[in-house]
Amino acid sequence: MNRITRRFEALQRNGRKALIPYITAGDPRPELTVPIMHALVEAGADIIELGVPFSDPMADGPVIQKACERALAHGMSLRGVLDLAREFRRTDADTPLVLMGYLNPIECMGHDSFVTSARDAGVDGVLTVDLPPEEAAEFAQALEANGIAPIFLLAPTTSDQRIQQIAKMARGYLYYVSLKGVTGSATLNTGEVAAKLAAIRTHTQLPLGVGFGIKDPPTAAAIAAVADAVVVGSALVTKMGELADDPERMRREVVELATAMRQAMDRHQASAAVVTA
Amino acid sequence: MKAMTNKKVDYSQFPDATGHFGRYGGRFVAETLMEALHELNEAWQGYRNDPEFLGELDKDLARYVGRPTPIYHAERWSRQLGGAQIYLKREDLNHTGAHKINNTVGQALLAARMGKTRLIAETGAGQHGVASATVAARLGMECVVYMGTDDIKRQALNVYRMRLLGATVQPVSSGSRTLKDALNEALRDWVTNVDDTFYMIGTVAGPHPYPLMVREFQAVIGRETREQMLADHGCLPDALVACVGGGSNAIGLFHPFLNDSEVAIYGVEAAGSGIDTGRHAATLCAGQPGVLHGNRTYLLNDPNGQIVETHSVSAGLDYPGVGPEHAWLKDLGRAQYVAVTDDEALQGFHALTRSEGIIPALESSHALAYVAKLAPTLRPDQRIVVNLSGRGDKDIYTVATLEGIQL
């Protein structure tokens, strides 16, 4: 069984929700990536989303775009990301690892070559932002055949019919984009998110993660109340950019934020459990 | 009759329903944009054959844009080159000075019918930005034009024109600070403001239905050319030449002739400082297939799939991708794609200016530079139509600077 599925089942048994931090591989420097991944796991991350830097990250806001630029300036590439994944896996056999990025680097490497390399590196899921299900059939099949979950986005604008179509092809979890905008955008309406998640659940049994615009522990807790997973990216990546020259402080503050989110999510779940009981 | 060994392609039947030209085209965007593209496609499919919509479009093209544009026989330049007769399709005579307005007039009509109140656009040379700001002013819509900071510097005149027209020019300082980055930023705006905003893409690239829709709005160039050449000469031209950045003026000229196999077709890319220097924008000549900006097409990228910075003296050709239909035509061999350098383009610029009294845009000058090579290889009774896609007023500062002249 895929590590992602195993992880969600374990969380569900314990009445907890997944915290999924996103960082861009190679940002601010390639040698800092794996230590930060381990630190995030210690801080309570359940799954790590590792961004594959791309020169033209169209669905991302300025924070992730700058992270991509920093990583690329240090020579990071898709092959480099797979090396980092392998390195992470050597000392962490359990934490699910999802690569998130854009299609062109994968096209350039070749789908088959990428899929087998990702499998061998211990990657558990792949989210290709600019590959919607209409264009994804073969790629998703190749991933699944190699034990890797093809992960897809859902948006506030996604119709019921498309939700069904996407859910059929998706494995691992579905990633609901909580607002109309790019990563790191400003406002998130938890009421709207809750309503949309309820509608999505009528079409799928897959766990639902929510991301884009979750910046602080209270929002993380509010989203955890209605979703199965909370994805935090730009808030962490902002710190990594600001503190790029002070790796020790960067690590400390990134861990502090992740820990605060973890605790807020768990407190909220615990009090919810008491109320239910 | 010869046996049908080669399956004949009916070019009018492409793209297919999902926006594919063979393996190219398609719809490669984040889920956040898919519904907006569905909405656009449905609206477009509903109006593209609607007599009332087309009647209004024709009226705007005639009375606001100034169509049909003439075909001009460049007799003196033809004599100087000593080969084929050269005919200029005078898109430079359109309102706003380039072919770009054919498309924005059409998309604005569609936007208004869809109830959108805000237009956004990306621009490189500024011609599409000006054409967008122009139709927005006319319809009283808000208009935001994304433009790379490098392009803002080299196209100051067009930036001012857009501002005069009431548009907001939003500088884009990410990436290579040119057209591709402006396109990224416009897509981000669209995702965020999808309810009231219409994204007017300026070329035959992007996710389906843009390559099809923009082609249909620009194909008026080729349809007129066909009628004009048949009326004047009783036969089709021997060759068509147009510059290719994203490729909208080229597809506009080429498309109505694709099924006429006797008409040779040449697309001219920007070789910049020379293809072997790496400083160029010759995507079809030197690139490889990949995925960017919503479609599969030829791209200029490094071995790791990262898009590279391009270079051309002409901001409008400075783009690392190309419309997917061109990628397909290249693979099929229906059109030939060549490249000319900055220096050759500047020679073309001067040659037309001095021989015919017409100052061409630097983009169009690339097509002219190739005509200067092609014409002498043909007979004097043969005819070349070259798309003079825009006028050169916007470029005189660039040309003067390159030649060490302070204006």
Shortest distance, CA A15 to any CA of chain B (angstroms): 30
CA end-to-end distance (rounded Å), chain B: 63
Q: In the predicted model, is pLDDT for residue B227 greater than 80?
A: yes
CA of B29 vs chain A CAs: smallest distance (Å): 4
To the nearest whole Å, the CA of B277 is away from the closest chain A CA by 21
B267 close to B337: Cβ distance less than 8 angstroms: yes
| Active-site annotation holder among B216, B224, B389, B394 | B389
Structural domain boundaries of chain A? 3-276
Q: Establish whether B389 is a catalytic residue.
A: yes
Tell me the per-residue pLDDT of A44-100, one tens digit each, with 9 for 90 and over.
Answer: 999 999 999 999 999 998 899 999 999 999 999 999 999 999 999 999 999 999 999
Q: Is residue B2 part of a domain?
A: no
Å between B186 CA and nearest CA of chain A: 9
Looking at the structure, do residues B164 and B53 belong to the same domain, yes or no? Answer: yes
Same domain membership, residue B387 and residue B268: yes
The pLDDT confidence band at residue B6, using thresholds 50, 70 and 90, is low
B291 touches chain A (CB under 8 A): yes
Flag whether pLDDT at A165 surpasses 90.
Answer: yes
The verdict on B333 and B394 lying in the same domain is yes
Q: What would the mean pLDDT of A209-224 be, rounded to a whole number?
A: 93
**Nearest by CB: B30 against A59, A135, A162:** A59
Contact at CB, A177 and B290, closer than 8 angstroms: no
Asked whether residue B251 falls in the same domain as residue B268, the answer is: yes
- Position A184 confidence tier, pLDDT thresholds 50, 70, 90: confident
Residue B15: inside a domain: no
Taking CB atoms and an 8 Å limit, are B174 and A62 in contact across chains?
Answer: yes
Q: Is the pLDDT of residue B155 over 90?
A: no
H/E/C letters for each residue in chain B?
CCCCCCCCCCHHHCCCCCCEECCEEEEECCHHHHHHHHHHHHHHHHHCCCHHHHHHHHHHHHHHHCCCCCEEECHHHHHHHCCCEEEEEEHHHCHHHECHHHHHHHHHHHHHHCCCCEEEEEECCCHHHHHHHHHHHHHCCEEEEEEEHHHHHHCHHHHHHHHHCCCEEEEECCCCCCHHHHHHHHHHHHHHCCCCEEEECCCCCCCCCHHHHHHHHHCHHHHHHHHHHHHHHCCCCCEEEEECCCCHHHHHHHHHHCCCCCCEEEEEEEEEEEHHHCEEECHHHHCEEEEECEEEEEECECCCCCECCCCCCCHHHCCCCCCHHHHHHHHHCCCEEEEEEHHHHHHHHHHHHHHHCCCECHHHHHHHHHHHHHHHHCCCCCEEEEEECEECHHHHHHHHHHCCCCC
Q: Which residue has the tokens 């926006």?
A: B19
Pick the catalytic residue from A31, A42, A46, A49. Answer: A49
User: pTM for the full model?
Assistant: 0.96
CATH number at residue B347: 3.40.50.1100
Residues B265 and B399 in one domain: yes
pLDDT at B3: 42
Q: Is A49 helix (H, G, I), strand (E, B) or coil?
A: strand
When pLDDT is cut at 50, 70 and 90, the band that residue B74 belongs to is: very high
Band of pLDDT at residue A275, cut at 50, 70 and 90:
low
B195 is a domain residue: yes
| % of residues, chain A, pLDDT over 90 | 88
| Biggest distance spanned by C-alpha atoms of chain A | 54
Residues 6 or more apart whose CB falls under 8 angstroms from that of A274 comprise none
Same domain, B190 and B120: yes
> How many C-beta atoms lie closer than 10 Å to residue A62's C-beta?
16
Q: Does B290 touch chain A (CB under 8 A)?
A: yes
Let me know if B122 is a catalytic residue: yes
Per-residue confidence (pLDDT) for residue A266, from 0 to 100:
94
Catalytic residue among B78, B89, B91, B100: B100
Decide: B398 and B313 in contact? Cβ < 8 Å: yes
Minimum-distance CB partner of A177 among B32, B188, B304:
B32
Taking only the tens place, the pLDDT of each residue in B35-55 is 999 999 999 999 999 999 999
* Cβ density class B4-43: b for 16+ within 10 Å, e for less: eeeeebebeebbeeebbbbebbbbbbbbbbbbbbeebbeb
Q: Which of A60, A124, A228, A266 is catalytic?
A: A60
Region of B97 please: left (phi>0), alpha (psi -120 to 50) or beta: left
Q: How many domains does chain B have?
A: 2
Q: Which residues are B246's β-sheet partners?
A: none
Residues of chain B in contact with residue A61, where contact means CB-CB under 8 angstroms, are 188
pLDDT value for A274: 63
Reported confidence tier of residue A244, pLDDT bands at 50, 70, 90? very high
Of A78, A132, A180, the CB nearest to B305: A78
Closest-approach residue (CA) in chain B for A157: B35
Give the chain B residue whose CA is nearest to the CA of A153: B31
Residue B127 has pLDDT above 80, yes or no: yes
- Domain assignment present for residue B318? The answer is yes
Instruction: Give the C-alpha separation, A69 to B174, whole Å.
Output: 9
Distance from CA of B131 to the nearest CA of A (A): 24
Of A118-122, B121-125, B165-169, which gets the smallest average pLDDT? B121-125
Chain A contact for B172, CB < 8 A?
no
Calculate the average pLDDT of chain B.
96
Nearest-Cα residue of chain B relative to residue A75: B304
B40 vs A contacts (CB less than 8 Å): none
Q: What is the pLDDT of residue B5?
A: 45
Select from A108, A130, A152 the Cβ nearest to the Cβ of B301.
Answer: A108
Which among B192, B289, B291 has CB closest to A130? Answer: B291
Q: Minimum mean pLDDT among A87-96, B97-106, B176-185: which range?
A: B176-185
Mutation target vs B (from A54, A55, A177, A212; most B CBs, 10 A cutoff)? A55
Let me know if B35 is a catalytic residue. Answer: no
**What 3-state class would DSSP assign to A154?**
strand
Residue B53: Cβ-neighbour burial (10 angstroms; 0-12, 13-18, 19+): middle
Question: Is residue B104 a part of any domain in this protein?
Answer: yes
Range of weakest confidence among A2-6, A102-106, A172-176, A190-194 = A190-194
Among B209, B238, B258, residue at a domain's last position: B209
Dist CA A253 CA A247 (whole Å): 10
What is the spatial distance between Cα B385 and Cα B260, in angstroms, rounded to a whole number? 15
In a domain, B49, yes or no: yes
Residue A273's pLDDT is what? 67
Could B291 and A181 be called an inter-chain contact, meaning their C-beta atoms sit closer than 8 Å?
A: no
A127 and A102 Cβ atoms separated by less than 8 Å:
no
Angle between helices A160-169 and A190-201 (to 10 degrees): 70
Q: Where are the alpha helices (DSSP H) in A14-159?
A: 30-42, 62-73, 78-91, 103-109, 111-121, 133-145
Q: Quote the pLDDT of residue B176.
A: 82
The answer to which of A104-113, A149-158, A172-181 has the lowest mean pLDDT is A172-181
Domain boundary among B165, B188, B209: B209
Same domain, B126 and B199: yes
> How far does the CA of residue A152 sit from the closest CA of chain B (Å)?
8
C-alpha–C-alpha distance, residues B407 and B384, integer Å: 35
Residue B178 pLDDT level (bands cut at 50, 70, 90)? confident
Q: Which of B174, B191, B209 is the last residue of a domain?
A: B209
Angle between the N-to-C axes of helices B324-332 and B210-218, in degrees from 0 to 180, rounded to the nearest 10: 80
Provide the pairing of β-strand A125-128 with A149-154: parallel
Summarised one tens digit per residue, pLDDT across range A31-48 is: 999 999 999 999 999 999
Which of A31, A83, A75 has the alpha carbon at shortest distance from A53? A75
Are residue B169 and residue B245 in the same domain, yes or no? no
Smallest CA–CA distance from A105 into chain B, residue:
B305
Which chain A residue has the Cα nearest residue B292?
A: A104
Joined tokens for residue B188: 């981000």
CB A76 within 8 Å of CB A25: yes
User: Do residues B320 and B310 lie in contact, with contact meaning Cβ atoms separated by under 8 Å?
Assistant: yes
Residue B386 lies in a domain: yes
**Do B328 and B244 fall within a single domain?**
yes
**Beta-carbon separation of A104 and B193 below 8 A:** no
pLDDT at residue number B4: 43
Instruction: Say if B293 is an interface residue toward chain A (CB within 8 Å).
Output: yes
Residue A272 Cα, gap to closest chain B Cα (Å) = 32
- Distance in Å from the first CA to the final CA of chain A: 32
Task: Tell whether B91 and B105 lie within a shared domain.
Answer: no
CA separation for the pair A15, B274 (Å, rounded): 63
The interface predicted TM-score of the complex, written ipTM, equals 0.94
Candidates B91, B122, B216, B325; catalytic one: B122
What residue type is B10 in one-letter code?
D
Put the strands of the sheet holding B197-200 in their side by side order: B168-172, B142-148, B118-123, B197-200
Q: How confident is the model at residue B125 (pLDDT cuts 50, 70, 90)?
A: confident
Residue contact B32–A132, C-beta within 8 A: no
**Res. A200: pLDDT tops 80:** yes
The predicted structure's pLDDT at residue B1: 40
Cβ contacts below 8 Å, chain A against chain B, sum to 119
Residues B113 and B242 in one domain: no
Residue B407, chain A, CB below 8 Å: the answer is no
Q: Give the structural domain span for B320.
A: 66-97+219-403
Choose the closest CB to A180 out of B181, B191, B308.
B191
Select the CATH number that applies to the domain covering A3-276 from these four: 3.30.450.90, 3.40.630.30, 3.20.20.70, 3.30.70.660.
3.20.20.70
Based on the domain organization, do B241 and B352 belong to the same domain? yes
% of chain B exceeding 70 in pLDDT? 98
Closest chain B residue to A136 measured between Cα atoms?
A: B28
Q: Is residue B21 part of a domain?
A: no
Pairing of strands B168-172, B197-200: unpaired
